[in-house]
Structure 1
Amino acid sequence: MSYSKLVERYVVSFATFFTLNIPDGILRRVFSEKNNFRLAPPPQPRLPPIMEITVGPPRLPIAEYSSATRIEYVQDKFMLDITGPIEEVIEVAKGLSSFFNDLGYDLDKMMRYVEINFPSQPIDVKDAMRGIRSITIFKGSEHLSKLVGSNVGVFSFSLSSPETPLTLNWLHLRVDPDVNSPNARLYISIIKRAEKMSEGIDFLTKIFQVIEAIKELLERGGSV
């Protein structure tokens, strides 16, 4: 499903953070061919270069699923990451608990929290800027406009609950107009953390509803 002419399918990351490290051999058993996964080849050893710049901890490829979904493990963070089209990631996430349970592992007891990351992606919205400014209030904008000598207004906005991300239960949603076509297209990014796997999966299945609700809200100018 897509809400923009620029994309065919939206992608999402569904990351599970564990309390302790999980050997990659166990993960390869979890994501086995029996469960319709294709095992990713283990990384090949290589000679260290004279000088190397490393950005972030290395990702260990575990398996692939369906057309474009990757399962990777970041050992330094005890993080299992599932990234791909939303529809495929939902299928994998719904089966996670049973995949682990088949090997005698209780996933709910092993994990700390899950994090869903919907990276900035476009949706087409008619009169997007008018919609944004009709639902947001920037008090004192007249004074600021006089001060800077230009009529300023809200351009983008974000929502969060609670206010700070210093919690394992957090939601952050950001909306930014396309700078080259601000009245026709927006970019939306979403981050959701949850302590329970069931809550994370429930939100994952509602992402399309969230996108559609934002689109309808802005096109109607705040009236629902």
Structure 2
Amino acid sequence: MVALVVCLLLVVGGAGLSGYLLYHAARDDDRGWPASWHTAAFTVSGDDSTRVDAGRLLALLAGTGTRYEVHGDRIVLAVPPARAAALPRLRSLMPVRTELSVRPVLDVTSPSPGCTPGDPPACDRSGQRYRLGPPVLSGREVTGVRTGTDPETGWSVTVRFSAAGQRAISDATSRYAGQQWAIVMAGAVLSAPEVPGPVSGPLQVSDGSDLGQMRRIAAAFRLGRHPVTIRAA
């Protein structure tokens, strides 16, 4: 998982996960990936921007190097042959409800090859396991999300909260200053940055030169603000 430098904090709430995902070798030479890559199709209710955000979230869950395209009401995810195992791992998450929460990290254990996002305790794409405290904030408290660049930290995501959400994040980060927090969605830890001190304003998550990662994190917050259900097509 890409390490994130956090000026402010946030996380995503786990959701019940079950279902089935079909995947197959891509055959269309005109797609944005080689014909040998493996693909999976998904659907989600909403407009094109919602489907783009859902594609970004799925790419974040699937791991580095994953590509996606939106074709009408379908999202097509693609991975190279060497990473084909990412698709059957994703099928255990379907359907995904994009509920988001922020949770303190109570303990971290060594990565486990058998750990799949959605398994308790929560884990990330690398198999790192996290024991998490209760949610202190949900995505429904998010009022705005913006991706931009900062002269000191590079590409970043700025998240604004409602008055109640701001109080919750400020109180929680005061109690757990200097501790890791988990951004969790669909039972998966999307990121677990360390928060150096209390968050008293908008949350800013930075990752230097990785604009793609910041866009995916921003997508998770937007989807958490107005939760939708992503299903296998």
The one of the two structures with greater contact order (alpha-carbon pairs below 8 A, sep at least 6) is 2
Higher strand content, 1 or 2: 2
Alignment TM class, shorter chain as reference? under 0.3
Which one has a bigger Cα radius of gyration? Answer: 1
TM-score (normalised: structure 1)? 0.25
Higher helix content, 1 or 2: 1
TM-score (normalised: structure 2)? 0.24
